Amino acid sequence: MAVSNNTTGIDTFSPIYILNVPYWEQILVAVLLGLISITGLIGNSMIIAAVVFSKKLQTSTNAFVTNLSVADLMTSFVLIWYTVGTLGNEEWPIPRAYWICQFTGFMVYACIITSTWTLGAIAVDRLIRISKPMWYKKIFTSWKLVILVAITWVIPAACLLIPIATGDIAYGYSKRAPICTENKYTAEFSLVQNVLAVFPYLAIVGTYIWIYVYIKKHFREQKQHLSQLSADSATDNSQNYGTQSSTELAITDEDHDPNRAIAVQRQKRISKQEIVITKNLFMVVVAFFICFLPSNIFLSIRSTIDIEHYLFYAQLGPFANSAINFIIYASKHPDFKIVLRHMMRCSYADIPKPSPILKYLLSRRN
């Protein structure tokens, strides 16, 4: 990173720093950012609307999913102004509204930090839901969810607003980028920001490893337990019924206690559903890391290799992440994909478990 030391801090042109970008490349990046912005606005709006319209989606986990979509929606909105800045020729194109550029730079960082902490909260939510289902409803009550969601916004606000007030950081237009971003920050603030960013990353990686180990162990023990039960049942029934087949024995055993059989089958069904949901949300995390990986790699090696020009394109990855979650939910999530497909077909009356809001809107339409 090119820096110049002064008495106030370190001047930087932030994650996307570049010299002498041809204007046709600025136009190309602006068009791509515009497409990402439109896709993100439409997709995240549909995710939020899906939760509002279907009571089936109004779960504790989806409170965090909705919060993630709100952060992505806001990123997609400010990306419109980010695109305007990309078309600037070493100056902010709207000089009388420079505050828009400052606000854009601030919101980009705030929403990225919020998204990171929300992904960490989702990971913890999934761990407790799978490993401690009896505790889940006690931990994730309505008022606790409000507090947890608020924390994902309060932390970014504190990380960014306090340094602004103390003069440790400033947002504005970078003539060399050209984008709206940080154009000054102190080394102390950078250290604090990096330390705070470590916590959600540790939570995400550690929690999903824990979930994987737990599920693998659970199914291994379940398989051993069922094998032992089958062996014991076959031994007992062979003594009592002689030539009765193993299939008939299994049916007879369930007939003796039908409630137990129903409970077992329901438990298996719920477990499978939760695992599918967890896998889908893990794909969201993977997409997040993949989108941020190129820019992070370039930033880490640019002191030894002249790759500044590529950083101008690397900015597309983090912003593309704000538009990609909709595709994951619509194609893979067992609950979201049903509701979203009905919405895309405008068949709102077919949405499962319609909420009071949707019922009201449907009644008004009719």
pLDDT in tens, 192-208: 666 777 788 888 999 99
First to last CA, the chain: 60
Q: What is the CB-side half-sphere exposure of residue 256 using CA atoms within 13 A? A: 6
7: helix, strand or coil: coil
DSSP secondary structure, 156-200, as one string: HHHHHHHHHHHTSEEEEEETTTTEEEEEEE-HHHHHHHHHHHHHH
For residue 189, give the nearest of 5, 21, 9 by alpha carbon. 9
pLDDT in tens, 207-217: 999 988 888 88
Give residue 170's domain range: 4-233+246-365
Quote the CA–CA distance of 33 and 13 in Å, as a whole number.
19
Residue 240 lies in a domain: no
Which residues in the chain come in under a pLDDT of 50?
1-19, 243-256, 262-270
Residue 101 lies in a domain: yes
Burial class (CB in 10 A: 0-12, 13-18, 19+), 121: buried
Q: Please report the pLDDT score of residue 262 as a whole number.
A: 47
Residue 238 lies in a domain: no
Q: Where are the alpha helices (DSSP H) in 302-345?
A: 308-314, 316-332, 336-344
Is the separation of the CB atoms in 124 and 58 below 8 Å?
no
Q: Please report the pLDDT score of residue 20 as a whole number.
A: 61
The total number of structural domains that make up the chain: 1
Residues with Cβ < 8 Å from 29, sequence gap 6 or more? Answer: 86, 312, 313, 315, 316
Residue 349 lies in a domain: yes
Residue 241 lies in a domain: no
Q: Please report the pLDDT score of residue 251 as a whole number.
A: 42
Q: Please report the pLDDT score of residue 239 as a whole number.
A: 57
Residue 239 lies in a domain: no
307: helix, strand or coil: coil
Q: Please report the pLDDT score of residue 48 as a whole number.
A: 95
Looking up residue 30, the CATH number of its domain turns out to be 1.20.1070.10
Residue with tokens 């705030």: 110
Residue 140 lies in a domain: yes
